[in-house]
Chains A and B, each alone.
Chain A
Amino acid sequence: MAQQLCHRTRSLLRLSAIVSSSSASSSLIPLSDSIIPRQQQQRAGFAADALTVDVPVPFKAHKCDAPSLSVETSAQELLSFFKTMFTMRRMEIAADSLYKSKFIRGFCHLYDGQEAVCVGMEASLNQKDCIITAYRDHCIHLGRGGTLLEVFSELMGRKDGCSLGKGGSMHMYNKKGGFFGGNGIVGAQTPLGAGLAFAQKYLKVDGVTLTMYGDGAANQGQLFEAMNIAALWSLPVIFVCENNHYGMGTAEWRSAKSPEYYKRGDYVPGMKVDGMDCLAVKQAVKYAKEQALKNGPFVLEFDTYRYHGHSMSDPGSTYRTRDEISGVRQERDPIERIRKLLLSLEIASVSDLKTLEKEAKSEVDEALAKAKESPQPDTSELFSHIWVKGYGAEAYGADRKEVVVKLP
């Protein structure tokens, strides 16, 4: 067992080494080849900060052609990636200390390490697209237009939470932003996602649904059922597997006969992407969206990593070594990658980035303080939203004179 763990750590570190060395080289040499120098841009009338970056780790494609490794982006976009990911990181760390000081109870699943997936996805999506995911949803809620105050309040069960304090960490939803949760049961969100895509096709909405799940959920039967019906009816759904290599305490090689999750759709085309690289994620989602709108379902596997344990109740070190965690943090951290990129492209200086970081920190602290002051929900909220006020669904007392349950 220990031997296999060591083997696992070694192979992950080897992968990190490849990635970091190639990214180190590619962030200097190929980039300088492919970046259009600033003066030339301005002369040629390009957008002042548009540029192209080469993504180091190649895409692995299954029954489709991989897109190009040159990603179009802009200085502004890269800066926003940095700021957003940093904010998300601070938010998750704040949630960690809230949990330890018992402001957050129950289960709290943190997303730090995986921010690139969420932020990269949003760069290729728009208002018409829908996202549904499982319980590691705080950052995705933020990415879809939620506010820090909503997230912190919901985590602490207060009135200002996005679900009025009644959902908690695992049940965050944002209807306006097109975020459909926030689901507690592993894998149960995959048929729901197929349903969202069904509605998009039925109502002729020009959008896709991203149904996210993890490597643990990839072994659920309902996922394969959902893939079958999505492929049968060409539903515009992208099945996104966030492969962080551990299903709670069980490593992927111990739970899946075939850990090539992007191939498990069989007749559904798929692609494996380095999930710690924002730009690779952006490119992959852009490509997958085009495919999904034309041909039906697509599977994306993002190779990512979580620094925390499965949840706050899990130390995260009994099934993996601390070396592995710190190794990934040093070699593949998504925020550090963007930082290096920004510095090497001279889009921002060290002090600029420090300012952004400070801004993010203060936003998070402010929201946290406000959330702590938010009141607990009213007692009447216990009974509200059980039923929608439809055709007279009220629960009266026996005499129908005394209303025991009031519906809004």
Chain B
Amino acid sequence: MAMARQALAATAVTTGNVVPLAASSSSRFPRLQLVTPIVSHELGRCRLATRSSATSYFGTAPQNRGTTNVTTNAVATKEASTSSATTTGGHELLLFEALREGLEEELDRDPTVCVIGEDVGHYGGSYKVTKGFVEKFGDWRLLDTPICENSFTGMAIGAAMTGLRPVIEGMNMGFLLLAYNQIANNCGMLHYTSGGQFTIPVVIRGPGGVGRQLGAEHSQRLESYFQSVPGLQMVACSTPYNAKGLMKAAIRSENPVILFEHVLLYNLKEKIPDEEYTCCLEEAELVRPGEDITILTYSRMRYHVTQAAKTLVNKGYDPEIIDIRSLKPFDMYTIGQSVKKTHRVLIVEECMRTGGIGASLRAAIMENFFDDLDAPIGCLSSQDVPTPYSGPLEELTVVQPPQIVAAVEQLCSRE
């Protein structure tokens, strides 16, 4: 069914139409046509991968997912070029450039997409994600706002009610706390309280997470605050490949999507395919298959986990690492398959311990897979403290690789 839906959506997209809105659109707001037709396999990064034998595991449709033909390193790197399904060589870029590429392609494709935020236009974006766009697309589509998060988020949501697709940039995710009312009450709920009359196809994106000594108020992790708002989808990108793919999918989705980027990951380099692709918003990514323990992680902690994995492999453990990517809803299928295989789970996250993503994930796994577990679910999160400025203290607030190694050893030693 998911395949059929994706096929339908792909056809709709290839004929050059905008993703269909509700049928009862009035003549009040004219529907703008797409300017460029789409390459037919732009969604098929997912589907292409399933057909070829040398597959990359990420982004496959559920029905075609299997445990065979999986590469050991699913992240596209220079060494793994044979495992990717790209026919051309691909091109290397940094994560913020991948976000920019994805955003540019969507701005080209659909004239209703616009970017609203502070310093996104003439300044080029505080993290250069929108560099050079205002010259190409104009002031109206790269709207430089005054510093008023509450009202420009509300404004974007109001515009989305009419059919525009704004991308709201928070200069730092933490500033979006000022817009919490608009995001929780209007963005998340309008589709429901209007009985389906209005959709809110916004993307809210920005860098968050603990950086390098940025201070407490600029090191916020908002995924825990937004996770219980019904109607919102949340995704976290961690590599240039999934950053571009998630950005594109989020813009095309009819639901409000919050895309969490991490302030320290913007300069990650990776080779990504030349052809157009999107990533599925609700799917997790297998980073490394294994047998002994399932480590669930997202965003920057993925790299701490892969670093710890090197130590673990040397010590003889075989961890399975999954980047959950979709923070709301969780990809319980991928997670479940993994738990059934390894019977042990460790969650490594950058959220606070109290009420964080890990807390919800733990509850969900326990509820669904209790009988498959041989050990209690471990959860390593940041400390419940405001992030201190001092370097060594800041390092102590987040999870570090030695802690991950110790936790895995402890969980695996239980019988």
Interface residues in chain A, defined as those with a beta carbon under 8 Å from any beta carbon in chain B: 127-128, 130, 132, 161-168, 171, 173-176, 178, 180-185, 188, 190-196, 198-203, 205, 207, 221-222, 225-226, 228-229, 232-233, 384-400, 408
Interface membership of B140, Cβ < 8 A: yes
Interface membership of B414, Cβ < 8 A: no
Q: Please name 7 further chain A to chain B contacts, defined as beta carbons within 8 Å, in addition to the given A203-B29, A205-B28, sorted by A numbering.
A: A173-B198, A175-B25, A185-B185, A188-B154, A192-B154, A384-B196, A392-B281
Interface membership of B313, Cβ < 8 A: no
Contact in complex: A391, B253 (CB < 8 Å): yes
Interface membership of B69, Cβ < 8 A: no
Q: Which residues of A contact B92 (CB under 8 A)?
A: none
The interface centre, meaning the residue of B146, B151, B182, B252 with most chain A CB atoms within 10 A of its CB, is B151
Q: Say how far B115's CB is from chain A's closest CB, in angstroms.
A: 13
- Checking B140, B151, B190, B196 against A229 with a beta-carbon cut-off of 8 angstroms, the contacting residue is B151
26 contacts between A and B (CB under 8 A): A130-B162, A167-B193, A168-B193, A173-B194, A173-B195, A173-B198, A176-B24, A190-B154, A191-B150, A191-B153, A191-B182, A192-B186, A195-B157, A195-B160, A196-B158, A198-B164, A199-B159, A202-B164, A225-B146, A225-B150, A228-B146, A229-B148, A387-B233, A390-B252, A391-B9, A398-B368
Interface membership of B230, Cβ < 8 A: yes
Contact in complex: A188, B164 (CB < 8 Å): no
Q: Say how far A196's CB is from chain B's closest CB, in angstroms.
A: 5
Contact in complex: A203, B162 (CB < 8 Å): yes
Contact in complex: A392, B191 (CB < 8 Å): no
Q: Say how far B154's CB is from chain A's closest CB, in angstroms.
A: 3
Q: Say how far B91's CB is from chain A's closest CB, in angstroms.
A: 25
Closest A residue to B152 by beta carbon equals A229
Q: Which residues of B contact A396 (CB under 8 A)?
A: 332-333
CA distance A387 to B254 in the complex (A): 8
Q: Say how far A154's CB is from chain B's closest CB, in angstroms.
A: 9
CA distance A44 to B193 in the complex (A): 53
Closest B residue to A177 by beta carbon equals B26
Contact in complex: A222, B192 (CB < 8 Å): no
Closest A residue to B249 by beta carbon equals A391
Contact in complex: B28, A178 (CB < 8 Å): yes
Known contacts A183-B186, A196-B161, A399-B333; is-contact A190 B151 (Cβ 8 Å): yes
Q: Which residues of B contact A167 (CB under 8 A)?
A: 193-195
Contact in complex: B145, A191 (CB < 8 Å): no
Contact in complex: B28, A392 (CB < 8 Å): no
Q: Which residues of A contact B27 (CB under 8 A)?
A: 127
Contact in complex: A386, B230 (CB < 8 Å): yes
Interface residues in chain B, defined as those with a beta carbon under 8 Å from any beta carbon in chain A: 2, 5-6, 9, 19, 22, 24-30, 32, 62, 114, 140, 143, 145-146, 148, 150-164, 181-182, 185-186, 190-199, 201, 230-231, 233, 249, 252-255, 278, 280-282, 329, 332-333, 336, 368-369
- Checking A181, A229, A393, A400 against B233 with a beta-carbon cut-off of 8 angstroms, the contacting residue is A393
CA distance A188 to B253 in the complex (A): 25
Contact in complex: B329, A395 (CB < 8 Å): yes
CA distance A389 to B186 in the complex (A): 19
Q: Which residues of A contact B193 (CB under 8 A)?
A: 163, 166-168, 171, 173, 181-182
Q: Say how far B171's CB is from chain A's closest CB, in angstroms.
A: 16
CA distance A151 to B173 in the complex (A): 39
Known contacts A225-B148, A393-B233; is-contact A175 B336 (Cβ 8 Å): no
Main secondary structure of the interface of A (DSSP, over half): loop
Contact in complex: B185, A188 (CB < 8 Å): yes
Q: Say how far B129's CB is from chain A's closest CB, in angstroms.
A: 21
CA distance A69 to B19 in the complex (A): 49
Contact in complex: B196, A400 (CB < 8 Å): no
Contact in complex: A393, B255 (CB < 8 Å): yes
Contact in complex: B28, A398 (CB < 8 Å): no
Contact in complex: B159, A226 (CB < 8 Å): no
Contact in complex: B186, A162 (CB < 8 Å): no
Contact in complex: B194, A392 (CB < 8 Å): no
The interface centre, meaning the residue of A130, A221, A400 with most chain B CB atoms within 10 A of its CB, is A400
Q: Which residues of B contact A180 (CB under 8 A)?
A: 158, 161, 198
Q: Which residues of B contact A203 (CB under 8 A)?
A: 29-30, 32, 162-164
Contact in complex: B368, A392 (CB < 8 Å): no
Q: Which residues of B contact A183 (CB under 8 A)?
A: 186
Q: Say how far B2's CB is from chain A's closest CB, in angstroms.
A: 5
Closest B residue to A168 by beta carbon equals B193
Contact in complex: A191, B231 (CB < 8 Å): no
- Checking A127, A221, A395, A400 against B62 with a beta-carbon cut-off of 8 angstroms, the contacting residue is A400
Q: Which residues of A contact B195 (CB under 8 A)?
A: 161-167, 173, 385
Q: Say how far A265's CB is from chain B's closest CB, in angstroms.
A: 14
The interface centre, meaning the residue of B28, B153, B156 with most chain A CB atoms within 10 A of its CB, is B28
Contact in complex: A175, B194 (CB < 8 Å): yes
Contact in complex: B26, A188 (CB < 8 Å): no
Known contacts A202-B140, A203-B32, A392-B281; is-contact A196 B62 (Cβ 8 Å): no
